[in-house]
Amino acid sequence: MGVQQNQTQFLLRRLQSLTGIFPVGGYLCFHLFENLAALSGPERFNEIVHDIEKLAPLPYFYIIEWSLILIPLLIHSLLGMMIWFSGQPNPLAYPYRRNWLYTLQRWTGGIGFLFILSHFLQWRWAVLMRGTPITYADITRDLAGVPMLTWYLVGVLSLCFHFGNGLYGFCYSWGITVGKKSQRMMEYVGWGAFVATSIVAVNILVSLHLAGVAHG
């Protein structure tokens, strides 16, 4: 016993759990926070987008973007999918609350991943190719259509749920919340985080959509 230890899977699962909070969950909050600028109108939004792009000089910007956002996000997503496919969800046979949340956590993760992929290709990649920053006008024009707004609402709300429920899961997986009482408290905190991030996200998206509609 204890001689040949195969802890790779254990460490990968812990890594998957950790990256979900830091930095991926953290970045979700930051991204929503910076996009609140959309509520302050076109000038302020364009200013902030510009400032963020100039936050760090060039090689550092890419290094930070890849090491703190993209690579952890890929690790979290790919390991997450492996975990998803190792399970056999059964919420219809055993319709308990947490069993539904288990299933939802996997589906929202999958939907969220597709959304982030499309979001990244549409804006970040396009901007890299084009060489000019995104403007308020670009985004409002894009979100003026109801199908695009719907896709954004589905994608972003999936991610907000995944984040909130993931907070509960993180505390459970790392053994922070052991007793029933603390686990229940953490579930409330998770729901709170879901509602709070959802309000911000819906507010931003609806305001961009309405601005787009107004500008025809």
Partner 1 sequence: MSKENVVLRVKRQDGPQSPARWEEFSVPRHAGANVLSVLMQVRENPVTASGQKTTPPAWDAACLEEVCGSCSMLVNGRARQACTALIETYSPNGEPITLEPFSKFPLVRDLVVDRSRMFESLKKVRAWIPIDGTYDLGPGPRMSQKTAEERYVMSTCMTCGCCLEVCPQVNTHSPFIGAAAISQARLFNAHPTGQLNESERLHALMEPGGVADCGKAGNCVQACPKEIPLTTSIAEMNREVTWKAVKDFFVRDSDDHEKKDAS
Q: For 152, phi and psi rounded to 5 degrees?
A: -65, -45
Distance CA 46, CA 140 (A): 12
How many residues bind partner 1 (CB under 8 A)? The answer is: 39
Q: CA-based angle 57:61:75, to the nearest 5? A: 170
Measured from the CB atom, the residue of 83 and 196 that comes closer to partner 1 is: 83
190 binds partner 1 (CB under 8 A): no
By CB under 8 A, name the one of 55, 176, 199, 206 that touches partner 1. Answer: 176
Options 58, 179, 214, 216; binder of partner 1; rule CB under 8 A: 179
Token reading at 102: 């288990």
> How many of the other CB atoms lie within 10 Å of CB of 27?
15
Q: Which of 87, 133, 145, 192 binds partner 1 (CB under 8 A)?
A: 87
CA atoms of 115 and 117, how far apart (whole Å): 5
| Nearest in space to 44 (alpha carbons), one of 174, 162, 136 | 136
Site for partner 1 contains 99 (CB under 8 A): yes
For the bound state, the minimum distance from the C-beta of residue 163 to partner 1, rounded and expressed in Å, comes to 15
Q: Least distance from C-beta 176 to partner 1, angstroms?
A: 7
Q: Closest distance between partner 1 and the C-beta of residue 42, in Å? A: 44
Task: Please name which of 104, 102, 115, 122 lies closest in space to residue 154, comparing C-alpha atoms.
Answer: 115
Contact set with partner 1 (CB under 8 A) = 1-3, 5-11, 13-14, 83, 85-90, 93-94, 96, 98-99, 101-103, 168-169, 172-180, 183
